Structure 1
Amino acid sequence: MDARQDDTRGIVDPSGLLSRVRFRRHLPAEPLRPYVEWYWLIDWDLPEPYVAHTVPHPSVNLTFQWDEDAGPPYAELTGVALGLYARRLTGRGRVCGVKFRPGAFRPFAPEAPVSHWTGRALPAGEVLGQATPEEARRIVTAEGDEARVRALDAFLLSVPHTADPQADLAADLVARIRTDRSVNRVADFARSQGLSVRSLQRLFSAYVGVSPKWTILRYRLHDALDRADSADTDWSGLAATLGYADQSHLVRAFTGTLGVSPTAYARAVRGD
């Protein structure tokens, strides 16, 4: 049942977060795996507030949440976040989250392009009518991980969805961008896939929610963040490897998203 537990790409200061919360990932039921990358479960009981930061993936997330300081359990849908995402954790709380595969959410909400939800967080019931407060309570109060996973499976399987070849194509293209470090230019990538740049852009707007260029840059920024806590990082070499024009371009992208330079981030994470 376990999904990859060691993938912390996109989490800012992962050791700081994981020392404060219980964080687990689990795979969904087999019929849901074309759409859902994994479920993520977090529980916390903190003596003092903590702000968790992430540089989000190009994914839509559905979360069922309970925070003792925020009232009863609720369900939230979060589109692709364009900048740094911050979540303040206080007291005790729990999140049962669904990370959709990039490009694979639209079969559950075909009425609007995924770009409609980009940069937005809203009550999930406005998009998925089945995500009621009662359903949120049922999921977050389930006893133990296996019960919560079963509850998430049951919920998603109850939401009407139909296989969509365009969603499959979009998910496959994003996966290639994520894993192939040679993908740096949109025009070259579109040509290699037998698509025009405009067709690729329309597909990403409708199914991913962000542009191909944004997706390339976000995954390369994840790579930079993953290596930034090393004292001996060769930023010039890393910039070349990740397809940035030069080191200054990488530093500007990193600083523009996280609000601190790579070296300042590395010092903070290491406690220098």
Structure 2
Amino acid sequence: MVGTRGVLDEETGRTKFRLRTHAPSADLAPFVEYHWIVSWDLTEPFTQQVVPHPNVHLVFADEGALVHGVMRGRFTRRLVGRGQVLGVRFHPGGFRPWLGGRVADITDRTLSVSDWWGDAGTEKPVVDAADDAAMVAEAESVLLPRLPEPDPVVERVRELVGLVLGDLALTRVDQLAAVSGLSVRALQRLFNDYVGVGPKWVIRRHRMHEAAARADAGGPVDWAALATELGYSDQAHFTREFTAAIGMSPGRYRLRS
């Protein structure tokens, strides 16, 4: 299912909520990866944890319209009763032209749209829309009047992040520097300005998403072999990083999944 990498214990989550994704309009596509909609109808509260990606999200919900910078820790959402939210997932680097400043300045922060744009009440037409298509149209009606000028650096940043996400063998920043033609220092400045986190964080987070996905896939996992494949110096190093990112050891998470 598209968009579920990073959703911990995805199999249980699928029984509690529905996740759909929708492509953005052509005008938004240079900046926005996709729109996502989550809906639920529960008799008992459910808490979902997510290990976030290097993306900024604009989320429309009953309680408000919020901009979430890149979250370096786990993100937790408690679902109660019946409801739905729509999120706009910006490409890595894609929010920089909208923000007009360093994306690192909003890392681990959440901003209300009223603080950002000076508008209030934009969330209700979105979450009250009749169906998915109407929700997406309402969200885009908020964004399109504020469309920024094209920024060629966004495409370059997307390419760099794509290199990381497309190659598990790329495990160090100096390797990314070599294939990109940029210095390590230039990569660090560029990522902090446009993505909100450094290239090392992006590499490490991609490895954690891959490890959790292997555990969620079912079947036995050779953790020592996986640690080597993902470029860790030893299994102990891998286990420490997995536990810090996921909240439990690899073996315990595998049993839970």
TM-score computed with the length of structure 1 as normaliser: 0.90
Partner of 1:92: 82
Structure 1 alignment gaps of length 5 or more = 67-72
Once the two structures are TM-superposed, the CA of residue 7 in structure 1 deviates from its matched residue by 4.2
Which of residues 56, 62, 75 is equivalent to 1:60? Answer: 56
Partner of 1:254: 242
Once the two structures are TM-superposed, the CA of residue 231 in structure 1 deviates from its matched residue by 4.0
Once the two structures are TM-superposed, the CA of residue 127 in structure 1 deviates from its matched residue by 2.1
Partner of 1:243: 231
Tell me the distance in 2 between the aligned counterparts of 1:199 and 1:43: 41
Quickly say closer, same or farther: Cα 1:128–1:240, change in 2 above 3 A: farther
Which of residues 64, 71, 74 is equivalent to 1:74? Answer: 64
Q: Contact conserved, 1:109 with 1:128, CA < 8 A, in 2?
A: no
Aligned AA (1:149): V
Output aligned runs, 1:183-262, within 5 Å. Answer: 183-229=170-216, 230-262=218-250
Tell me the distance in 2 between the aligned counterparts of 1:251 and 1:149: 40
Are 1:119 and 2:108 an aligned pair?
Answer: yes
Once the two structures are TM-superposed, the CA of residue 219 in structure 1 deviates from its matched residue by 0.5
Tell me the distance in 2 between the aligned counterparts of 1:235 and 1:34: 38
Q: Contact conserved, 1:128 with 1:159, CA < 8 A, in 2?
A: no
Q: Contact conserved, 2:3 with 2:21, CA < 8 A, in 1?
A: no
Q: Contact conserved, 1:36 with 1:98, CA < 8 A, in 2?
A: yes
Quickly say closer, same or farther: Cα 1:96–1:205, change in 2 above 3 A: same
- The superposition leaves residues 146-188 of structure 1 with CA deviations (integer Å, 9 ceiling, x where unpaired) of 1111112222111131111222211211111111112111012
Equivalent position SS for 1:24:
strand
Tell me which stretches of 4 or more aligned residues in structure 1 moved more than 4 Å.
none
Structure 2 alignment gaps of length 5 or more = none
Equivalent position SS for 1:94:
strand
Q: Contact conserved, 2:32 with 2:94, CA < 8 A, in 1?
A: yes
- The superposition leaves residues 73-127 of structure 1 with CA deviations (integer Å, 9 ceiling, x where unpaired) of 41011011111111111112211100111111111111x2000110011212222
Which of residues 9, 31, 35 is equivalent to 1:13? Answer: 9
Partner of 2:165: 178
- The superposition leaves residues 7-49 of structure 1 with CA deviations (integer Å, 9 ceiling, x where unpaired) of 4210001111111112111111012111111101011121111
User: How many corresponding residue pairs?
Assistant: 256
Tell me the distance in 1 between the aligned counterparts of 2:226 and 2:169: 13
Q: Contact conserved, 1:96 with 1:148, CA < 8 A, in 2?
A: yes
Partner of 1:22: 18
Tell me the distance in 2 between the aligned counterparts of 1:7 and 1:165: 26
Equivalent position SS for 1:239:
helix
TM-score computed with the length of structure 2 as normaliser: 0.96
Tell me the distance in 1 between the aligned counterparts of 2:14 and 2:97: 33
Are 1:140 and 2:136 an aligned pair?
Answer: no
What is the RMSD computed on CA atoms of the aligned residues? 1.3
